[in-house]
C-alpha cells in the first residue's frame, strides 16, 4: 500500500511538472517495492521512473527502466504491465527516429 501511495504521489507531481518531487516519490516507491520484495510494484515503479526520464528527454535511462519493467512483467506474468512497458519502449524508439524498431515493440 505504501508503494502504491508513493507511486501515485510521484505521478501526481509528474503531471504537475514538479520533477524534483516526482523523482523523490517515484524513487521512494521503487525502494519500497524492492524492500517489500513486490515485483509487480517494482515493475510499476520502473515504468513510472521511465516516464519521468522520458518526459525530460533522457531517453537512455528511460529505455533501461522500461526494459527492466518489461522483464519484470514477463517474469510475473503481468500482461498489462508488459504491454505498457513494450509501448513505452516503442515510444522511446520513435524519439530516436527508429519507427521500424518502435513497430516491433508496439506489435508485441
Q: What are 63-106's pLDDT values in tens digits?
A: 999 999 999 999 999 999 999 999 999 999 999 999 999 999 99
Helices 59-76 and 79-95: crossing angle in degrees, nearest 10, is: 160
Distance of alpha carbon 46 from the chain centroid: 4
Query: What is the pTM (predicted TM-score) of this model?
Result: 0.94
Angle formed at CA 90 by CA 33 and CA 34, multiple of 5 degrees: 10
CA pair distance 38, 36, nearest whole angstrom: 5
Amino acid at each position: 500500500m505504501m508503494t502504491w501511495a508513493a507511486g501515485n504521489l510521484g505521478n501526481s507531481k509528474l503531471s504537475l511538472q514538479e520533477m524534483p518531487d516526482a523523482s523523490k516519490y517515484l524513487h521512494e516507491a521503487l525502494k519500497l517495492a524492492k524492500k517489500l520484495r513486490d515485483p509487480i510494484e517494482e515493475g510499476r515503479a520502473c515504468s513510472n521512473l521511465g516516464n519521468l526520464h522520458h518526459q525530460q528527454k533522457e531517453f537512455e535511462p528511460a529505455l533501461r527502466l522500461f526494459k527492466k519493467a518489461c522483464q519484470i512483467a514477463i517474469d510475473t506474468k503481468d500482461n498489462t504491465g508488459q504491454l505498457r512497458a513494450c509501448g513505452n519502449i516503442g515510444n522511446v524508439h520513435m524519439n530516436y527516429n527508429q519507427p521500424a524498431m518502435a513497430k516491433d515493440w508496439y506489435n508485441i
